[in-house]
Copies of this chain bind each other. A is one copy, B any other.
Amino acid sequence: MHLRGLVAGIALALGAMFAAGAFAQAKPETLVDNRQAAMKLMGKYFYGSLAPMARGRMPYDAGVAARNVGYLDVLSKMPWADFAPSTKDTKSEALPAVFSEPAKFKDAQDHLQQQVSKLSEIVKAGNEAEVKAAILAVNDSCSSCHDSFRQKR
């Protein structure tokens, strides 16, 4: 390889490393902040509205339910990548099982997303009783995962 080519190759490689390093390897604290933000917003739309509607503790509003299920469908995809191994020792409510039982944690994520997908379909069909039952199924998925992977509150 000519010297010029070698230098250019090294420069390119360094550039790529810099780009990847600058953006892909966020600080553990940033990852925790971001995943907590996604969880907080899921809580806002789920526990603050969908769950109380399903339990009859808040008047059922089909428009709000459809909107919030749409939000939840997107939000429920966001937190998982931020449970990176680099955050294992960062202060948060995550239990060690998140990192010691990744396959089980992944199953719990998948289960939530399946339940939310079902709820998304059901909310489009618009049968209130079915929507409420599907919301409660999502609630079970939240609770089950929290029981195994989040500190008791």
| A residues neighboring B (CB under 8 Å) | 16, 19, 22-23, 26, 33-34, 36-38, 40-41, 44, 48-49, 52, 57-59, 70-71, 74-75, 77-78
Contacts and interface: CB of A to CB of B under 8 A. Distances in A.
Contacts of A52: 19, 23
A23 B58 contact: yes
19 contacts: A19-B59, A23-B48, A23-B49, A23-B52, A26-B48, A34-B40, A34-B41, A34-B44, A36-B37, A37-B37, A37-B38, A37-B41, A41-B41, A41-B78, A71-B74, A71-B77, A71-B78, A74-B74, A74-B75
Contact of A41 (B16, B38, B49): B38
Contacts of A26: 48
Nearest to A42: B37
Q: How many copies does the complex hold?
A: 2
A126 to B, nearest CB: 21
Nearest to A44: B34
Nearest to A31: B44
A105 B34 CA distance: 26
A57 B44 CA distance: 34
Nearest to A56: B19
